[in-house]
């Protein structure tokens, strides 16, 4: 299973990162499409000991795939085959949009990190909704026991002005909530101009309230709602968001998104500067992501579900987040470096630690 890092170095490390991602994802989907998914499920279904209750849902494992890998819901079943307990789709916007100009995805191999300025490239909520519906139906048939959970991450369309952001989010909420196990409001990507301003509590309160009401009405049930925050928030702002989430009785917080910081990197400064603007993800986020998790846990206690994401690479690191107060943990960047057996290895390590 550890052969993939060599494959990555020989086959993908020299290739444009976005192109490599598309090729890798296409291969995962192709294996699923030709009927090999059943074999993968037998190999990689998480041990029953890892089943986890969160958000009123049962997850096969606390470890899942963060938003950003499957932006448009085109490979949910294929990714579930690999052992992820949940797949968070998105970020999806009310309108379709191409995202920022390419190149817009870059590796910092020495740091096991990625810089992206994708800009929420996606087909839009109306196109994604039927894919989600089909994926849920497929998962229900192929997993007779506890099926992988599907989350939906929504953001603001770039051309929509900030003062009109609420209505834009409501379009996505109404369209996607009926086929979402849970929903995430993303106000923390650095790649949509002005988006992070929505993390201000005065702006965030009506946004979250409106999305929750619209999602529940459209789905005819309560759709668990979370907000995803940036690691770059000051501690007092993290505390303010936590207080707001408690006030509004949200279901949880995802901590954290990518960072605009470039501090403490091992990669040469000129290489980092050459990559340009964008959100940094991967191993360099470990310390800050864990610190935000611990701060949130100290404030919200057991009243909210905390999903930790940022820099996890091993089962021990996932368990550390769980021990620090997370109910669920997500990964993404290490998937690009470790390959398709990564989630299965995490689950195996987690199961061993629990013995």
Binding region: 67-71, 91, 116-120, 153, 186, 191, 228, 256-258, 282, 311, 332-333
Q: Which two tokens stand for residue 234?
A: 């000051």
For 192, what's the count of Cα atoms within 13 Å in the CB-facing half-sphere? 27
For 92, what's the count of Cα atoms within 13 Å in the CB-facing half-sphere? 32
310 to 3, 95, 231, 288, 334: CA distances (angstroms): 24, 28, 9, 8, 10
Task: Give the list of residues 6+ apart from residue 213 with CB closer than 8 angstroms, or none.
Answer: none
- Binding-site entries for substrate: 71, 116-120, 186, 191, 257-258
Active-site residue (options: 189, 281, 289, 308):
189
- The neighbouring-strand residues paired with 253 are 227, 306
332 to 68, 95, 227, 311, 344: CA distances (angstroms): 8, 25, 18, 8, 14
Q: Which two tokens stand for residue 135?
A: 């994926």
* DSSP H stretches of helix in 112-249: 125-142, 165-176, 201-219, 235-248
- Binding-site entries for FMN: 67-71, 91, 153, 186, 228, 256, 282, 311, 332-333
Is 26 among the residues known to form the active site?
Answer: no
Contact 354, 62 (CB under 8 A): no
Q: Which residues are catalytic?
A: 189
């Amino acid at each position: 299973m550890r052969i993939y890092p060599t494959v990555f170095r020989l086959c993908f490390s020299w290739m444009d990162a976005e192109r490599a991602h598309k090729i890798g994802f296409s291969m995962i989907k192709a294996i699923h499409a030709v009927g090999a998914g059943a074999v993968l499920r037998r190999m990689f279904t998480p041990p029953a000991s890892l089943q986890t209750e969160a958000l009123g849902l049962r997850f096969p494992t606390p470890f899942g795939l963060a938003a950003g890998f499957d932006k448009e819901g085109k490979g949910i079943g294929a990714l579930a085959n690999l052992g992820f307990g949940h797949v968070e789709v998105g970020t999806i916007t009310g309108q379709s949009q191409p995202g920022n100009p390419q190149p817009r995805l870059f590796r910092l191999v020495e740091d096991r990190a990625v810089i992206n300025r994708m800009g929420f490239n996606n087909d839009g909520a109306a196109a994604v909704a039927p894919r989600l519906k089909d994926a849920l139906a497929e998962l229900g048939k192929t997993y007779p026991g506890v099926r992988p959970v599907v989350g939906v991450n929504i953001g603001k369309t770039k051309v929509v002005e900030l003062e009109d952001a609420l209505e834009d989010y409501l379009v996505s909420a109404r369209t996607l909530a009926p086929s979402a196990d849970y929903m995430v409001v993303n106000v923390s990507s650095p790649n949509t101009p002005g988006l992070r301003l929505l993390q201000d509590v005065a702006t965030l309160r009506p946004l979250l309230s409106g999305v929750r009401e619209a999602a529940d009405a459209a789905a005819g049930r309560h759709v668990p709602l979370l907000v995803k925050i940036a690691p770059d928030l000051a501690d007092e702002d993290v505390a303010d968001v936590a207080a707001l989430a408690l006030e509004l009785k949200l279901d949880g917080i995802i901590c954290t998104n990518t960072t605009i910081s470039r501090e403490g990197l091992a990669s040469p400064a000129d290489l980092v500067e050459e990559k340009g603007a964008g959100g940094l993800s991967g191993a360099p986020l470990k310390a800050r992501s864990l610190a935000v998790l611990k701060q949130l846990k100290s404030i919200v206690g057991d009243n909210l579900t905390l999903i930790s994401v940022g820099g996890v690479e091993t089962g021990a690191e996932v368990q550390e987040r769980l021990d620090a107060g997370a109910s669920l943990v997500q990964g993404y960047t290490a998937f690009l470096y470790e390959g398709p057996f990564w989630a299965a290895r995490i689950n195996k390590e987690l199961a061993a630690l629990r013995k």
